[in-house]
Amino acid sequence: MRNTLITLVFILVGAIVLYQFVPDRDAGPVAGPSEKTDAPEPPEPLKQNTVQKTGPRVIAPVQFAQPFAEHASQLERIEPRQPLTPPTPVDTTPRATLLHRPKVVAAGMVSYKQGVLTFEDIDPVRPEEMCDGPTGDPWPCGIIARTAFRNFLRGRALACVVSQGQWDDGVVASCLVGKQDPAAWLVSHGWSRASRQSTYGKMHAEARAQSKGLYGGDPRQPLDLIDSQIEPAIGLDDTESVVSPAPDSPTEPL
């Protein structure tokens, strides 16, 4: 029995050894240790977050520089071509400054904390100025012109072209109220005079010809006209129409 077991063990070991050395029919021929196979080696895995550094591309400097260096004397500089897109014009006009809460001191003059601003191309009318009407009676045209200008302005802000540091207690500038020129309004309504060589000369002549503002009469309504428009009060004389009984007429007994 013992000999039989030993025999079986040797047979099993021999079978295992033979199985290791017997080639596989489906795997093809096995290369020996000295033989080289043509199978490509598997590529090494690329490491993440790595940048492959490559050198500059090599060119032939003689080939590229040869035409320019050889024929440099024959080259001629020409004018650059015009841009395909027309250039945007640059606005060089001075920007207006917005001045809030103007205080009217005269027809054509406003006051700010920096100083007094006078409109350009007009002669302001001072409040103390007096004008002669068609009948020769003087009337305070300066005060009325200032009031008319206040009613026109109504505390609106002025957009004036004033440079920095140009005030010095007074400045002359052109202004706008929204899209309206206040200086043109004053001259066209006769509440101011256009200065010499002014752009408002035609407006001044038309206002003077039409007797507007300073060139007309006192726009205030006369007192006698106001009194004539008031209805007279009923007086004692108006009671004559009331019928009263005669004192001598007999009375009926009660």
Q: Report how far residue 216's alpha carbon sits from residue 231's, in angstroms, rounded to the nearest whole number.
A: 30
Question: Is the pTM for the entire model greater than 0.85?
Answer: no
Cα dihedral 21→23→27→31 (10° resolution): 70
Question: Residue holding tokens 């080939």?
Answer: 63
Token pair listed for 27? 């795997």
Q: Report how far residue 44's alpha carbon sits from residue 42's, in angstroms, rounded to the nearest whole number.
A: 6
What is the secondary structure of 139-180 as a DSSP string? E-HHHHHHHHHHHHHTT--EEE---TT--TEEEEE-EEBTTB
Higher-pLDDT residue of 88 and 254 is 88
Number of Cβ within a 10 Å radius of residue 181: 17
Question: Tens of pLDDT along 56-114?
Answer: 666 665 555 555 556 667 778 888 888 888 888 887 777 888 999 999 999 999 999 88
Question: What integer best gives the mean pLDDT of the chain?
Answer: 75
Q: Are 97 and 159 in contact (CB under 8 A)?
A: yes
| Sequence-distant (≥ 6) Cβ neighbours of residue 98 within 8 angstroms | 157, 158, 159
Question: Tens of pLDDT along 180-201?
Answer: 999 999 999 999 999 888 899 9
- What is the number of H-type helices and E-type strands within the chain? 6, 11
Q: Report how far residue 36's alpha carbon sits from residue 125's, in angstroms, rounded to the nearest whole number.
A: 115
In b/e form, how buried is each residue of 50-76, taking b as 16+ CB within 10 angstroms? eeeeeeeeeeeeeeeeeeeeeeeeeee
